[in-house]
Amino acid sequence: MKCSVCSKEAIIEVRWKGKAYCETHFRGYFLGQVRKVFDKFGVKGKICLALSGGKDSAACLEALTHLDVDVEALFIDLGIPGFSEECREAAEAIAAKLDVDLHVLNLQANYGTTIPSLVELEGKKPCSMCGTIRRYLMNKYAYEHGFDYLATGHNLSDQLAFVFNNLANVYLVPFREIGPVLRPREEGKLVGKVKPLYYLTDEECKVYSELAGLPICEDKCPYAETATTNLMKRWLHSLDLEMPGVLRRFAESFMRISEGMERDEEISGCRICGYATTAGVCKFCRLMRRVRRKSRG
Ligand code: AMP
Ligand code: FES
Ligand code: ZN
Ligand code: ZN
41 falls within a domain:
yes
243 falls within a domain:
yes
> What is the pLDDT at residue 2?
96
Among 152, 205, 226, name the best residue to mutate to test ligand 1's pocket (greatest count of ligand atoms within 8 A of Cβ): 152
237 falls within a domain:
yes
101 falls within a domain:
yes
> What is the pLDDT at residue 102?
98
Helix (H) or strand (E) holding 95: helix 83-98
Closest atom of ligand 2 to CA, residue 127: 4
> What is the pLDDT at residue 90?
98
CB atoms within 10 A of CB 199: 22
> What is the pLDDT at residue 170?
87
Q: Please count the structural domains in the chain.
A: 1
288 falls within a domain:
no
Residue 37: closest CA among 146, 135, 160, 152: 152
1 falls within a domain:
no
Q: How far apart are CA 50 and CA 55, in angstroms?
A: 12
> What is the pLDDT at residue 270?
96
CA of 10 to the centre of ligand 3 (A): 7
Among 120, 220, 221, name the best residue to mutate to test ligand 2's pocket (greatest count of ligand atoms within 8 A of Cβ): 221
Measuring from each residue's beta carbon to the nearest atom of ligand 1, which residues come in under 6 Å? 50-52, 56-57, 74-76, 78, 134, 152-154, 158
Cβ pair 152, 54 in contact under 8 A: no
Residue 67: closest CA among 96, 36, 40: 36
119 falls within a domain:
yes
Query: What's the length of the chain?
Result: 297
Residue 63 gets which letter from DSSP? H
Closest atom of ligand 2 to CA, residue 133: 1
Closest atom of ligand 2 to CA, residue 115: 4
- Can you give the pTM of this predicted structure? 0.95
Closest atom of ligand 1 to CA, residue 84: 19
Nearest CA to ligand 1 atom 10: 153
> What is the pLDDT at residue 178?
80
- Residues of the domain holding 128: 34-264
CA of 240 to the centre of ligand 4 (A): 41
The CATH number for 51's domain is 3.40.50.620
Per-position pLDDT tens, the chain of length 297: 999 999 899 999 999 999 999 999 999 999 999 999 999 999 999 999 999 999 999 999 999 999 999 999 999 999 999 999 999 999 999 999 999 999 999 999 999 999 999 988 888 778 888 989 999 999 999 999 999 999 999 999 999 998 998 888 888 766 767 889 998 998 889 999 999 999 999 999 999 999 999 999 999 888 886 678 888 999 999 999 999 999 999 999 988 888 777 666 688 999 999 999 988 999 999 999 988 888 877
Cβ pair 131, 103 in contact under 8 A: no
Q: What is the DSSP string of 246-285?
A: HHHHHHHHHHHHHHHS------EE-TTT-SEESSSS-HHH
290 falls within a domain:
no
Q: How far apart are CA 82 and CA 223, in angstroms?
A: 12
